[in-house]
Amino acid sequence: MVDLQVEIVPGLVLKNPVMTASGTFGYGREYTPYLDIAKLGAIITKGLSLKPKTGNPGTRITETACGMLNAIGLENIGIERFLSDELPQLKQLGADVIVNIFGNNQDDYAAIAARLDQVAGIKALEINISCPNVKAGGIQFGTDPQAAANLVAAVRRVTTLPLITKLSPNVSDITKVAEAVADAGSDVLSLINTLVGLAVDIDSRRPLLGNITGGLSGPAIKPVALRLVHQVVKAVDIPVIGIGGIASARDALEFLLVGARAVEIGTANFINPQIGLEIVTGISDYLEQHEYEKVTDFIGSLQV
């Protein structure tokens, strides 16, 4: 048996390196007909804000070549309803829960973080500073190292939970933001969020999405994601979680190879709701076949 456990940071130990990405796994419960969510490294909730949010009007998704654009607009039930209606059941199911948070401004982020600080059953916070689908908040933090650092510092002050900062790929030099948030107290980095994209319909001569632009995800973006993870792993000392286009155990292993200590599965969950556990098994089988004793021996073993 291969040992799949990974310690991301001392306060955040995962039974295996496979998590599910925010916004693609609902609040977790939706997946219980398909798999035992307690067997995943962790589940990461849909991005939560202080108050419920209705999201964007109009068409919200459209498929592109080997990918999809989404402009959901961070629709969510709000932090309070999550705590009362969803979290208790997740605890009962034995799932390891990481909460993804976002706000319109620094105070919002800090308020949610403070609210969650003393809540039992939350393993870590993932701060989304990179969602391209909301006007206020989101991406402008993700592209400005100083703004990102200030935000992380504000959250850091109000919580003792492990902090994961989720980075945007839509930048000239991701290592600048990575270093800034690491210095500001982020324990972990996760990347990538979606690339900003556009799709239009030549017949109606309109954008296909109500929000005009959307976030590109899926296998199409994997090469870009792998490159950015590789770059950030080399640039910072804190652990990195890899995200972007993962749809198989081999994909996940590619991210581990370049140095991600864990991965998050996003769009692939829509296509196959069991994919998370299939990837756990696939990683284990691969490592066993190649005579690794533990997954940590494989992590970061890329030879360049």
Partner 1 sequence: MYLFTGKIVSNRQLTRDIRYLRITAPAEFCRQAAPGRFVMLGCDDGLFDPLLKRPFGIMNRGDDWFEVLIKEVGRGTLQLGELAEGSCVSGHGPLGNGYPEVDSELRSKDSSPLILVAGGMGIASIASCLLFNNRRPLNPDCKTILLYGAARLDELLLLDEIEKNSADLRIETITDDGSSGRRGWVTELLENELRQHPASLTFACGPEPMLKNVQQVLCKFKTRGYLSLENRMACGFGVCLGCVQKMAATGDNGAGESAKVCTQGPVFPADKVVF
Ligand X SMILES: Cc1cc2nc3c(=O)[nH]c(=O)nc-3n(C[C@H](O)[C@H](O)[C@H](O)COP(=O)(O)O)c2cc1C
Residues found near ligand X in the complex (CB under 6 A): 21-24, 46-47, 70, 72, 74, 100, 128, 131, 166, 193-194, 217-218, 221, 243-246, 265-268
Whether cis (ω within 30° of 0) applies to the bond prior to 192 is yes
3-state secondary structure of 184: coil
Nearest to 168 by CA among 135, 192, 186, 138: 192
Among the options 131, 174, 191, 220, which is catalytic? Answer: 131
Q: Which is nearer to partner 1, 185 or 219 (CB)?
A: 219
Which one of a copy of itself, partner 1, ligand X, none interacts with residue 69, CB within 5 to 8 A by kind? a copy of itself
Nearest to 266 by CA among 172, 162, 102, 128: 128
Task: Give yes or no for residue 10 binding partner 1 (CB under 8 A).
Answer: no
Q: How far is CA 95 from the centre of its chain?
A: 16
Say whether 131 is catalytic: yes
Q: Which is nearer to ligand X, 2 or 90 (CB)?
A: 90
Neighbouring CB atoms inside 10 A of 81's CB total 15
CB of residue 271 vs ligand X: minimum separation in angstroms?
10
Question: Could you tell me the two tokens for 244?
Answer: 């972007």
CB of residue 250 vs a copy of itself: minimum separation in angstroms?
6
Nearest to 167 by CA among 203, 205, 141, 133: 141
For residues 72 and 78, the answer to whether their CB atoms sit within 8 Å is no
Task: Give yes or no for residue 210 binding partner 1 (CB under 8 A).
Answer: no
Q: Which is nearer to a copy of itself, 159 or 217 (CB)?
A: 217
Measured between alpha carbons, how far is 297 from 56 in angstroms, rounded to an integer?
Answer: 44
Which one of ligand X, a copy of itself, partner 1, none interacts with residue 84, CB within 5 to 8 A by kind? none
Task: Give yes or no for residue 103 binding partner 1 (CB under 8 A).
Answer: no
Beta sheet of 61-64, edge-to-edge order: 61-64, 67-70, 213-217, 195-198
CB of residue 206 vs a copy of itself: minimum separation in angstroms?
5
CB of residue 65 vs partner 1: minimum separation in angstroms?
5
CB of residue 63 vs partner 1: minimum separation in angstroms?
6
Nearest to 126 by CA among 96, 171, 92, 81: 96
Which residues are near a copy of itself by CB under 8 A? 64-67, 69, 143, 170-173, 195-200, 202, 205-207, 212-214, 216, 218-224, 226-227, 230, 245, 250, 253-254, 257-258, 286, 301-304
Which one of partner 1, a copy of itself, ligand X, none interacts with residue 273, CB within 5 to 8 A by kind? partner 1
Which residues, listed in sequence order, are joined to residue 241 by a DSSP beta bridge? Answer: 190, 262
Measured between alpha carbons, how far is 146 from 144 in angstroms, rounded to an integer?
Answer: 6
Measured between alpha carbons, how far is 269 from 265 in angstroms, rounded to an integer?
Answer: 7
CB of residue 198 vs a copy of itself: minimum separation in angstroms?
4
- Which residues are known to be catalytic? 131
- Give the interface with partner 1 as residue ranges (CB under 8 A): 23-26, 30-31, 33-34, 46, 52, 54-55, 57, 59-63, 65-68, 70, 72, 75, 218-220, 247, 267, 269-274
